[in-house]
Amino acid sequence: MNQSTESHTGSIQDKKSGDLKKLLDINNIIISILDIGKLLNIIMETIKDIMNAEASTLFLYEEKTKDLVFKVALGEAGKELTEKYRVKVGQGVAGWVAEKKQPVYINNVYNDERFDPNYDKKTGFNSRAILCVPLLFKGKLLGVIQAINPIGRPGFTDDDLDLFCLFANQAVLAVQNAIFFQNALEEQRLKNEISSAKAFQKSLLPAINNKNDGIHIAARSFSAREVGGEFYDIFNFQDNSIGIVIGGIHMKGIPGALNASIVSGAIKGLSLKLNGHPSGIITALNNTITKSITTIDNLSLFYGLISTDKKILHFVNAGFAYPIIIRKNVARYLKFKSNSLGKLQNLPKRISVKLEPEDFFVIITDGIVNIKNRGAQNMGLKRIMDHLSNNFESPQDIVDSLIKLTDDFLDGLEKMEDISILALKIED
């Protein structure tokens, strides 16, 4: 490789690193904004900035009419929104993206049959190139974002599309957050704020019971208060590998829930950017927490990546999650972990485990280990390990049985700790 090639490669890598840092910094800002008008303005200005484009739009999907609606905020506070334009799903590039739920960029829009010139005619704007991505929350369409006419370039590229998709994955959490709280405040104002926050967190943490390529995964989470600071997620990558994440902020209540949503969004963006690479994700997230997210100083995180063909699990464990493998009804705790993120001095060791047919792999957070009964006894890891050595048919059976074990142990006492459980089984 000659010097000019090395320099060019280095500049590309520097740009990608800079883009990733910019996305994470932006996420920390937008995820905390609950004013929908202000949020829409910031997102549209951010699109123009990160994509270096002449214009941007954000269409919100209106379920009642099945329309995409472009709204802008009025006044400095941005509390009042006015409708500027709407299109039907399937109409124009934005409508096509909404209908197909697929991203696209078009560098000569007037030569593409999907393009609708009515907006240009109405506004006098001249569209040349459009980059358009759907806003999808748990598979549900919330809207569509567009960057229009790159500045100083003839068109958009595949790298632009990748970056825009990463931004969309973070922006959709902020939009869902703002829409949810706006609706909650409109319905019952401050009186219903806590119960609304609980419903929001529940939407972020639905019970999981999925099967994919011979791997069966189940997960549940319970908060000590109305809402809490724990989270989990599953990611399916293009190479058919599966990412699993379970973590906790070690904060309870609304502060914990808001910070958990920030971290969850950052992990989603990092997972897509780094293709589920556990060590890279842990390193990037730790750097982000120590430098940018000042509200979090103690984050436990288990991140694993399973190859569905070889059934090998690679994972990194930082903090207080407990990974347990169950083989032939014998439970073994894999005691590989480090300090929590935000306090890391050395990168945690990456562990690889070959999973065999009928193996279970279970990750629990420390809340279930630390709960106390009426006699002030801790549940303890040994009690859980003994329980997991029983015969189970499915990951869902394990999740349900650990919930029952917890309830029986508490004997009517309230849970004082957030609890999350993720279990998987190799079925072939």
> Do 210 and 177 share a structural domain?
no
Q: What CATH number is attached to the domain comprising 225?
A: 3.60.40.10
Separation between Cα atoms, residue 103 and residue 130, nearest integer Å: 11
Same domain, 122 and 262: no
The 10s digit of each residue's pLDDT in 296-348 is 777 888 999 999 889 999 999 888 889 999 999 999 999 877 677 666 566 77
How big is the chain by its Cα radius of gyration, in Å?
A: 23
Q: Which domain holds residue 148?
A: 3-182
Task: Give domain status of residue 198, yes or no.
Answer: no
In the predicted model, what is the mean pLDDT of residues 397-414? 92
What pLDDT, in 10s, does the model give residues 141-185? 999 999 999 999 999 999 999 889 888 888 888 888 777 776 665
Number of domains comprising the chain: 2
pLDDT tens digits along 74-119: 444 334 556 778 889 999 999 999 999 999 999 999 999 999 998 8
- pLDDT for position 196: 56
- Domain match, 19 and 128 both: yes
Q: Let me know whether 12 and 74 are in one domain.
A: yes
Task: Answer yes or no: do 128 and 9 share one domain.
Answer: yes
Q: Which residue has the higher pLDDT, 10 or 281?
A: 281
Same domain, 231 and 311: yes
CA distance 6 to 31: 37
pTM value surpassing 0.75: no
Q: What's the pLDDT score for residue 43?
A: 83
Q: Tell me if 187 is assigned to some domain.
A: no
Place of tokens 């973590």: 247
Q: Are residues 219 and 300 in the same domain?
A: yes
Q: 360 and 398: one domain?
A: yes
Residue 192: inside a domain: no
Same domain, residue pair 45 and 159: yes
The confidence band for 5, taking pLDDT boundaries of 50, 70 and 90, is very low
| Per-residue pLDDT at 344 | 57
Can you give the CATH number for the domain in which 159 is found?
3.30.450.40
Neighbours of 26 (CB within 10 A): 20
237 and 381 belong to one structural domain: yes
User: Taking each helix axis from N to C terminus, what angle separates 253-274 and 3-30, rounded to the nearest 10 degrees?
Assistant: 160
pLDDT tens column, 26-60: 666 666 666 777 777 888 888 888 888 998 888 99
Residue 189 in any domain: the answer is: no
Q: What pLDDT, on the 0 to 100 scale, is given for residue 41?
A: 80
Collect contacts of 232-235 with beta carbons under 8 A, ≥24 apart.
232/205, 232/208, 232/420, 232/422, 233/264, 233/267, 233/268, 234/208, 234/210, 235/268, 235/271, 235/272, 235/276
- Residue 82 belongs to a domain: yes
Residue 131 falls within a domain, yes or no?
A: yes
Please indicate, yes or no, if residue 188 is contained in any of the structural domains.
Answer: no
Domain-embedded: residue 195: no
Same domain for 212 and 170, yes or no, is no
Does position 73 have pLDDT exceeding 90, yes or no?
no
User: What is the per-residue pLDDT across 202-241, written as a single tens digit (0 to 9) for each?
Assistant: 655 667 888 888 899 999 888 766 666 788 888 888 888 9
